[in-house]
Amino acid sequence: MANRHTIILMQTSQNRATRTFMDYESITQAMDGICALYERKLKELNPTIRNLSYDITDLYNFIDGLADMSALVYDSSIHAYMPHDRQWIKQRTFQHLKKLAH
């Protein structure tokens, strides 16, 4: 399941011009990309701090703070992309980070 093409759709504010997407070869890479996006935002907000740390609640708050975020994951059995909501993304990022911690 992890090696499925994934597109993350997001809108950072209520302004429709902030709509964008990120394209990944796998769900794992997509979850890495979301974490990296949050880490870049943290660095942007805290430019003088060298070693930033965060927990899953901080990441969830970031995801919830976006105007919109969803995922499209390719399912080869139906030759189509399956949509997933923000809650699914949060669950997958948690599972991903849990694997990295072990």
> What is the per-residue pLDDT across 21-38, written as a single tens digit (0 to 9) for each?
999 999 999 999 999 999
| CATH classification code of 6-101 | 3.30.2260.10
Where residue 67 falls among pLDDT bands split at 50, 70, 90? very high
Region for 79 from its dihedrals, namely left if φ exceeds 0, alpha if ψ lies in -120 to 50, beta otherwise: left
Mean pLDDT over residues 68-82, rounded? 96
pLDDT of residue 52: 86
CA distance 8 to 31: 9
Q: For 81, which DSSP code?
A: E
**In the chain, where are the structural domains located?**
6-101
Q: Is 71 within 8 Å of 8 (Cβ atoms)?
A: yes
Helix (H) / strand (E) element for 8: namely strand 6-11
CA distance 102 to 100: 6
